[in-house]
Amino acid sequence: MGMKFFVDTAVTSDIAELYDYGLVDGVTTNPTLVAKSGRDFKGVIGEICQIVEGPVSAEVAALDHDGMLAEAQVLAAIADNVVIKLPLTLDGLKTCRILRARGVKTNVTLCFSANQALLAAKAGASYISPFLGRLDDLKIDGMALIRDIRTIYDNYGFETEVLAASIRSPNHVKEAALAGADVATIPPGVIKSLAKHVLTDKGLAQFAKDWADTGQSIL
């Protein structure tokens, strides 16, 4: 099984474009991304779920267990491919355990330590989201965290998938893949930039010139 790409956005036009390219296995959203879209939260989640067959993470807004559980029930009813995104708190972990028992997939987010990731796996999280960019901002090696989580999960056979989040550059994607992340959730612009290289552009320009010089046509 290869590395999966989730697109990190709530802009449906960007999701549809990348999905048509075959570059999207799922989608992650968060309150900030939904706020930037300026759209109704439940409406945009429903539309995304119609575009993408894979997992679509929708985050609860409540901070207490009862509130999270109530919101999770509403969000999970939107579509079969909704994944409930929960914060890595004790209340979030409690909610995660209950949702797992009910067969609802979860994405435990805002993970910044291997111990937090261990707790999420024990709670039955479907995905754990360590945040790379925000650790880099603090001069902490985010990739070391991915490697540590990968080792711990492999040591015990945890089924929780490691979802590298807060990705800001193509190098983040490469390093996350080398570290063994199961998934990378990536902004649309960064996904597109993965295909670019100055030597590709230069070579293509030369091929186009040489072909034009032949005066031939394939069609």
Q: What is the pLDDT of residues 85-127, one digit of tens each?
A: 999 999 999 999 999 999 999 999 999 999 999 999 999 999 9
Task: Please state the pTM of the whole predicted model.
Answer: 0.92
Residue pair 34/44 in contact (Cβ under 8 Å)? The answer is yes
Give the per-residue pLDDT at 178.
Answer: 96
- What kind and span of H or E run contains 178? helix 170-179
Both structure tokens of 127: 């995905």
> Is 85 an active-site residue?
yes
Could you please state the CATH topology (level 3) that the domain comprising 4-214 is classified under: TIM Barrel (3.20.20)
Q: Are strands 106-111 and 127-130 parallel, antiparallel or unpaired?
A: parallel
Query: What confidence category does residue 1 fall into, taking pLDDT thresholds of 50, 70 and 90?
Result: low
Among the listed residues 42, 85, 94, 122, the single catalytic one is 85
Percent of the chain with pLDDT over 70: 100
Hey, where are the domains in the chain?
Answer: 4-214
